[in-house]
């Protein structure tokens, strides 16, 4: 017995020293783990995810798992690749690297319904880009415009004119896997090389482990719809120790100004004010997060209106017209007219400097960047024009625009009387009041000939024909007068003169109203550059000396799924008027639900999103091994415990101890 006892002691010591060694190794591993991670994973930087958005009833966008989605890489280059991924490949799930040409509805919907796709990474490039690509819906904002069952029912739901017929609606689908955009060409090459080295099929043989894999991580917190999400955020704030924010409402600011100053603190009807409203939108969107250059869709309108404001400022000082001209830039129009509906709402509730009775007429600048043959089209609403007085006003406005176009390189046309208004902020005003108004656009009917990349990330400077001679450096490019800018300057002059006439100004002053192509070029070049934000900031400092007003701006909320243009900065060096910002939340949120408006659009919060690729060994092998080792350790420990327990008296009582007797 003694011998066995000592033997067991020795074995304990051995085990103990063994344990120490194990700990040392793991401690060392802990210190060096970051470099080990670097050997396994390659982190990818220039990537943009698609995020989740919610409205009152649905969720759209993409979602990844809480710890990221990992899958074996496969590059999609042909139809047979797609079949491999969806049915015959032996190592699902796959992360699909997609060329631009394959990023269309049919491919994405096939992958959406498959469980073998863990994620998608789209290579963003112009090569292989189709002639048109618009992830927006075919009939933008069809339920929140003016046309409905009770107003122009035959015109509703794009029955007469489909504005974006080539839109594939991808932005409004709900994907259960992450979708990323790869923007850096060098990193894309690295990925391709990894794929070619390890994953490529050679002569029909399937590749074996180890394979190249990728992990996409873009976990979204919000789910179901806005109501659920805001409720859960409330519950978190009230009862949780570490409240997590689940989603933010889409909110930002509208920007407005006027030729005659209005007292911004006075709310409600402004006495003796008859106002001509000049409006345009300020936002754009695309499938991916904050990748919406919106050059033709939005920037053309902004630039035109800014230039018109600048052209009008000297004349409205010297020979002020009887009516006030009220310029406004609406934010969030892509999402059911957030900005314009808020302004109309405020006007109706007497919570704005003017109200709807002050509005005489409205001119909206739509997409005006790509005129073909110098023609622009004046869109109007046929339903309100059935009323004679409104019709007279609209015809007057059109006449004034025609006379303003005299001598300019612009020819104005009017589409068919029966054609409804395109999606525009004017529709929200018409919902409240039959205001005579026009929407100026470069398209007669549908967008796609003029704007083939409507609300997509490809609607960039090149789409607007903003091109520079090749030998200019970036600073020279900023002040270069492109043809696109000259064209927009023409349109701006037209708009300024029309507004002046509409406001009751004299014909004789018209020739003094001209938009300065230099300013137009500068603003266009700034807004169509991808890094326009940082550049405009530095410019504001140099120009603030020459111009009197500085701004109170900027958005405190940047939780917008839009291209946050530094509109206010550029405005500061073209205007000498005070600008005002009105906050636009997506309608008001009321807990007591007495309002008819409810918070509708929100976007999901997320922790940082990352993207990394690695080699991976077979999943089943490692899992089985781990499970097997675990079970073996369990059984071993049970066995050891049993043996020790049954020999307890032997092991734990010394020779001379008198066992206590229990009775």
Binding site for other proteins (CB under 8 A): 63, 66, 219-224, 228, 231-232, 235-236, 244, 246, 604, 662
CB of 112 to other proteins, least distance (A): 17
CB of 46 to other proteins, least distance (A): 25
- Give me the residues paired with residue 134 across strands: 167
CB of 227 to other proteins, least distance (A): 9
Strand ranges in 339-418 using DSSP code E only, listed in sequence order = 359-365, 375-379, 411-413
- Sort residue 465 into left (φ over 0), alpha (ψ -120 to 50) or beta: left
CB of 562 to other proteins, least distance (A): 23
Question: If DSSP codes are grouped into helix, strand and coil, which group holds residue 258?
Answer: strand
Pair type for strands 411-413 and 174-175: unpaired
CB of 175 to other proteins, least distance (A): 13
Nearer to other proteins, 230 or 397 (CB): 230
What's the Cα-to-Cα distance from 67 to each of 35, 232, 243, 390, 611, rounded to whole Å?
21, 22, 20, 59, 11
Q: 10 Å Cβ neighbour count for 318?
A: 8
Radius of gyration of the chain (CA): 32
Nearer to other proteins, 148 or 228 (CB): 228
Nearer to other proteins, 166 or 246 (CB): 246
Nearer to other proteins, 63 or 540 (CB): 63
Nearer to other proteins, 159 or 653 (CB): 653
Residue among 425, 457, 455 at smallest CA distance from 440: 425
Nearer to other proteins, 63 or 286 (CB): 63
Strand ranges in 331-374 using DSSP code E only, listed in sequence order = 359-365
CB of 231 to other proteins, least distance (A): 6
CB of 95 to other proteins, least distance (A): 19
Question: If DSSP codes are grouped into helix, strand and coil, which group holds residue 263?
Answer: coil
What's the Cα-to-Cα distance from 631 to each of 19, 575, 618, 624, 625, rounded to whole Å?
20, 75, 20, 10, 10
Residue among 313, 301, 318 at smallest CA distance from 577: 313
Nearer to other proteins, 100 or 604 (CB): 604
Four-CA torsion 30, 32, 33, 38, nearest 10 degrees: 180
Element (H, E) at 388: helix 388-404
Nearer to other proteins, 53 or 520 (CB): 53
Residue with tokens 């970036």: 474
CB of 232 to other proteins, least distance (A): 6
CB of 627 to other proteins, least distance (A): 24
Residue among 599, 609, 608 at smallest CA distance from 233: 599
Nearer to other proteins, 101 or 223 (CB): 223
């Amino acid at each position: 017995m003694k011998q066995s006892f000592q033997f067991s002691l020795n074995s304990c010591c051995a085990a103990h020293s063994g344990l120490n060694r194990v700990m040392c190794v793991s401690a060392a591993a802990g210190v060096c783990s970051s470099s080990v991670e670097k050997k396994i994973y390659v982190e990818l930087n220039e990537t943009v995810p698609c995020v989740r958005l919610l409205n009152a009833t649905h969720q759209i966008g993409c979602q990844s798992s809480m710890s990221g989605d990992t899958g074996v890489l496969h590059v999609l280059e042909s139809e047979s690749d797609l079949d491999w991924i969806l049915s015959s490949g032996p190592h699902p799930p796959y992360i699909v690297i997609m060329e631009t040409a394959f990023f269309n509805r049919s491919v994405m919907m096939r992958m959406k319904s498959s469980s073998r796709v863990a994620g998608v990474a789209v290579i963003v490039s112009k090569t292989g880009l189709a002639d048109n690509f618009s992830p927006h819906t075919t009939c933008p904002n069809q339920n929140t415009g003016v046309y409905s069952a009770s107003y122009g029912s035959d015109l509703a739901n794009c029955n007469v004119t489909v504005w974006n017929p080539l839109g594939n609606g991808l932005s409004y689908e709900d994907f259960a896997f992450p979708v990323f955009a790869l923007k850096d060409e060098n990193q894309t090459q690295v990925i391709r090389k990894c794929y070619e080295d390890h994953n490529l099929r050679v002569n029909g043989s399937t590749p074996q482990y180890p394979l190249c894999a990728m992990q996409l991580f873009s976990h979204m917190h919000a789910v179901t719809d806005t109501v659920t999400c805001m409720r859960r955020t409330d519950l978190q704030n009230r009862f949780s120790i570490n409240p997590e924010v689940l989603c933010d409402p889409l909110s930002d600011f509208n920007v407005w100004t006027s030729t005659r100053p209005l007292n911004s603190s006075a709310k409600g009807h402004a006495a003796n004010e008859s106002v001509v409203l000049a409006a345009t939108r300020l936002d754009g969107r695309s499938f991916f997060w904050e990748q919406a250059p919106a050059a033709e869709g939005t920037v053309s309108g902004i630039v035109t209106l800014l230039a018109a404001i600048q052209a009008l400022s000297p004349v409205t000082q010297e020979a002020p017209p009887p009516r006030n001209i009220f310029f406004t830039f609406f934010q969030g129009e892509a999402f059911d007219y957030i900005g314009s509906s808020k302004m109309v709402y405020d006007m109706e509730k007497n919570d704005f400097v003017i109200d709807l009775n002050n509005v005489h007429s409205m001119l909206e600048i739509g997409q005006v960047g790509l005129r073909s043959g110098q023609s622009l089209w004046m869109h109007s609403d046929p339903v309100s024009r059935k009323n004679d007085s409104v019709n007279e006003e609209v015809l007057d406005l059109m006449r004034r625009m025609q006379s303003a176009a005299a001598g300019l390189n612009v020819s104005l046309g009017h589409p068919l009387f029966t054609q409804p208004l395109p999606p525009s902020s004017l529709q929200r005003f018409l919902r409240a009041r039959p205001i005579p108004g026009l929407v100026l656009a470069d398209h007669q009917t549908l967008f796609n000939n003029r704007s083939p990349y409507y609300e997509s990330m490809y609607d960039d400077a090149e789409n607007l024909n903003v091109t520079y001679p090749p030998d200019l450096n970036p600073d020279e490019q900023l002040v270069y007068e492109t043809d696109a800018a000259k064209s927009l300057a023409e349109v701006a002059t037209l708009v300024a003169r029309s507004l002046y006439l509409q406001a009751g100004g004299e014909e004789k002053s018209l020739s003094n109203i001209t938009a300065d192509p230099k300013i137009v070029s500068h603003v266009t070049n700034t807004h169509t550059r991808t890094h326009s934000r940082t550049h405009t900031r530095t410019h504001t400092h140099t120009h603030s000396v020459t111009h009197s007003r500085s701004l109170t701006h900027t958005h405190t909320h940047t939780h917008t799924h839009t291209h946050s243009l530094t509109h206010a900065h550029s405005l500061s060096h073209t205007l000498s008027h005070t600008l005002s910002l009105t906050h636009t939340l997506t309608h008001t949120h009321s807990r007591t639900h007495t309002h008819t408006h409810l918070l509708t659009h929100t976007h999901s919060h997320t922790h940082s999103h990352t993207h990394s690729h690695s080699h991976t060994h077979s999943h089943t092998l490692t899992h089985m091994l781990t499970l097997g080792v675990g079970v073996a350790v369990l059984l071993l420990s049970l066995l050891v415990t049993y043996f020790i327990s049954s020999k307890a008296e032997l092991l734990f009582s010394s020779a001379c101890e008198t066992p206590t007797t229990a009775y």
